[in-house]
Amino acid sequence: MGNGATVPPVRLAVVNSLGVWGGGEAWVIRTALALRQRGHAILLVCHPDGPLRRRAEAEGLTTCPIRIRHDLSLAAAVRIAAALRRWRPDVLLCCNERAMRVAAPVARLATRARIVFRSGLIGSFKNRRHNRWLVRWAMDRFVVNAAALREELVGYGWIPPERVRVIYNGMDPAPYRDRALHAARCALRREWGVPPEGVVAAMVGRLVPEKGFRLALPAIAAARARCPRLHAVIAGDGPEREPLAEEIADRGLHAAVRLLGRRDDIPRVLAAADLLVHPSEREGAPNVVLEAMAAGRPVVATACAGTPELVVEGETGFLVPIGDEQALIERLRKLQKDDFVAILKAMGGLPIIIRLLDLPLHEFLPHEDVKDPKVRRRVEELQEVNPMMGHRGVRVGISYPELYQMQIDAILEAKNEVPGSRPSIMVPQVISSTELEFVKKMVKDPSVRVGIMVETVRAAMTSDTLAQTADFFSFGTNDLTQATLSFSREDAEKKFLHTYLDKGILPDNPFETVDQAGVGKL
């Protein structure tokens, strides 16, 4: 009611027969708590063994556990009728078809309640004869969470348009904007094995076929081939968990895609992610899209049901056709370019040096058992005894030039979009001018300077020759120190460096203060 008018207390009975946890069940809890806070009385009729009952009782909501096994469950109908007579609701809200088919008729006979069906998923109320009969005899109103769902119901031709109302899902954005989430972001990314420069795509939802997670894996694999810093996490549980795990294994994505299971800390998950990928094939108005927006994360989603009503194309995210793998790949690539655009805009015309990919190749390999013999053989071929001195930096860029080309193209496209920007490109782990010349050929813009990080002993000793090709030098003292002293930093600091310092063998930690006599001369 508008104009400041107050709503008298209402007694509401909510019936949800599902024994699972998803967006619809989360909506029930949020709505019940908000209505209770406003002075209304809530009874929740729910599956006795489902997560909805556990969540509701944990919040102090009144529940009536009744198992509705099928549409003709007489025992359930009798128990619901008795519960409704005791509760005397003003409104009965049915949250799924089975709940409606059993609860709506007994409510019409046993109470004076207004009967409402709430649909949050396209196709959840079907065009069937018995539904038509129930609508004419028992149903008073329909509430849907997207205009696309209203169009579906009205399109049946036997539901009057005036009886269907769109009420979009509501949510509290505060938990997604908590300052403490920054620390959670760092902790979760370390837990997931994501390097500082990694890009994390989060997928959230029940692991069921209609959510499209398995269909998204080929796109993740293809996008990762062009952007190796891309990682993905999938938060949720359900019958698709094992098939998903097998698909991840078959595609060799162990190191890139992590199954998190069901999570109660979605604000933390989204804080640790850089974007949300929502590849669903069947939706209403997905809660997780709203949650991602509240967290300030861009969304790449299928144009399914009510999702286009939430995502503003090119502003809050991107929409792709359902099942279009190539479109999803291109959107992920564009988001990487947009990273560089944001960086260049933030620099405001000041010069910036962007270092090309430099991660040891072993970090991209599966660390668990691999079933596919072809993948297993390839993993064994790529394993290294000393990865920090192995296939990394420019060596990976020369072995797989498409990786560096993709990153360079994204930088150049971003430069063209940001007038006055001044990016330079730095190539890591260079030992010869021929390596640098190989990479410079990928840079089609002559105004972009290309330099090297001097972090190998050979680069330091032949710097006069490299200077004829490189536009600038930067010195990588960490790698130079490891090569010069024959120290592995991680091992030295854990095992013996403190002893060398305590006994005066070294005056300073060479990884904190440059060793002038050795590294300094280089």
Residues 458 and 431 sit within 8 Å (Cβ to Cβ): yes
146's tokens: 């997207």
Cα–Cα separations (whole angstroms), residue 495 to 6, 287, 490, 519: 70, 49, 9, 22
Does 410 score more than 50 pLDDT?
yes
pLDDT for residue 85? 96
* Nearest to 266, CA basis, from 222, 218, 302, 234: 234
pLDDT at 492: 86
Q: Please state whether beta strands 351-355 and 41-46 pair in parallel, antiparallel, or not at all (unpaired).
A: unpaired
pLDDT at residue number 391: 77
Backbone angles phi, psi at 406, to 5 degrees: -60, -45
What mean pLDDT comes out for the span 397-401?
83
- pLDDT of amino acid 33: 96
141 has pLDDT over 50 = yes
Those residues with Cβ within 8 angstroms of residue 129's Cβ, 6 or more apart along the chain or in another chain: none
Which CATH number fits the domain 11-166, given the four candidates 1.10.10.10, 1.10.3720.10, 3.40.50.11720, 3.40.50.720? 3.40.50.11720
The predicted-structure confidence for 299-327, as pLDDT tens digits, reads as follows: 999 999 999 999 988 788 888 888 777 77
- Cα–Cα separations (whole angstroms), residue 359 to 228, 355, 367, 387, 443: 9, 11, 16, 9, 21
Q: Which two tokens stand for residue 339?
A: 């990273």
What digits encode the pLDDT tens for the residues 332-385? Answer: 777 767 778 989 999 999 999 999 987 655 555 655 555 656 656 766 776 766
The pLDDT, as a whole number, for residue 331 is 75
Spatial contact of 85 and 115, defined as CB atoms under 8 Å apart: no
**In the predicted model, is pLDDT for residue 211 greater than 60?**
yes
Q: What integer pLDDT is reported at residue 313 of this predicted model? A: 83
Q: Report the SS3 class of residue 143.
A: strand
pLDDT tens across 49-62, in order? 999 999 999 999 99
φ/ψ of 485, rounded to 5, equals: -90, -5
In percent, the amount of the chain with pLDDT more than 70 equals 93
Determine the average pLDDT of the residues in 73-102: 95
Tell me: domain 345-520, CATH 3.20.20.60, correct?
yes
Determine what percent of the chain falls in helix, strand and coil, rounding each to the nearest 5. 45, 15, 40
Same fold, 174-338 and 345-520: no
Most confident of 205-209, 328-332, 370-374: 205-209
Summarize pLDDT for 237-246 with one digit per residue, the tens: 999 999 999 8
Q: Is the pTM of this model over 0.85?
A: no
Q: What is the pLDDT of residues 155-180, one digit of tens each?
A: 999 999 999 999 999 888 999 988 88
DSSP three-state, residue 419: coil
Which pLDDT value is given to residue 372?
Answer: 59
pLDDT of 479 over the 90 cut: no
How high is the pLDDT of residue 515? Answer: 87
Which residue bears the tokens 């709430």?
118
Is the pLDDT score of 3 beyond 70?
Answer: no
CA–CA gap between residue 324 and residue 91 (Å, rounded):
42
**89 burial via Cβ count (<10 Å: 0-12, 13-18, 19+):** buried
* C-alpha atoms less than 13 angstroms from C-alpha of 106 in its C-beta half-sphere: 25
Using 50, 70 and 90 to split pLDDT, how confident is the model at 87? very high
What CATH number should be reported for the domain whose range is 174-338? 3.40.50.2000
* Residue 1, pLDDT score: 43
Higher pLDDT, 519 or 118: 118
What is the rounded distance in angstroms from the CA atom of residue 256 to the CA atom of residue 242? 17
Domain ranges across the chain: 11-166, 174-338, 345-520
Four-residue CA torsion sign, 93, 282, 246, 235: negative
Per-residue pLDDT, averaged over 504-508, amounts to 91
Lookup: tokens for 489: 């930093």
| Averaged pLDDT score across all residues of the chain | 89
Confidence of residue 257 (pLDDT cuts 50, 70, 90): very high
Whole-angstrom Cα distance, residue 364 to residue 425? 23
